Amino acid sequence: MTVNIYDEANRLESALRQSDEYTAVKTYFEAINNNPESKKLFNEFRNIQLTLQEKQMSGQEITEEDIASANNVAAKIEQDENIAKLMQAEQRMSQIIEDLNRIIMKPLQDLYGVNDAATEQ
């Protein structure tokens, strides 16, 4: 019996969308978008993240000013209940994705004896 991996991946994607964890992320993201203060702060946070990532990837120095700006926004983020809930929900979703990735990679790890090599050291 031949399995179409892409069909299975699409079923998994659908199951993720129906999960409680995804629903929580979606709910909290909508709450942010419905609150002008949360939305403004969230967008500011994302822009700073992108700027720092771009600098890091291009080899540019991250300045003290960049760090201070990021810390300032991070402090504000911690005070925003909508964003805090979204971040917690994202962490739970990330854990599921990490677990799924571990499961998906298991056939190759078994084939190459990755787990055996780790226990021999």
Would you say domain 16-112 falls under CATH 3.40.50.300? no
Quickly list DSSP for 29-54: HHHHHTSHHHHHHHHHHHHHHHHHHH
Segment 6-51, tens digit of pLDDT: 999 999 999 999 999 999 999 999 999 999 999 999 999 999 999 9
Average pLDDT, the chain: 91
- What is the pTM for the complete model shown? 0.77
Boundaries of every domain in the chain:
16-112
What's residue 92's pLDDT?
A: 97
- The answer to whether residue 120 scores a pLDDT higher than 90 is no
Average pLDDT over residues 49-69: 91
Confirm if 86 and 25 have CB atoms less than 8 A apart: yes
| Integer Cα distance of 44 and 108 in angstroms | 41
| Integer Cα distance of 69 and 115 in angstroms | 42
Q: Please, how many CA atoms are within 13 Å of residue 56, restricted to the half-sphere of its CB?
A: 8
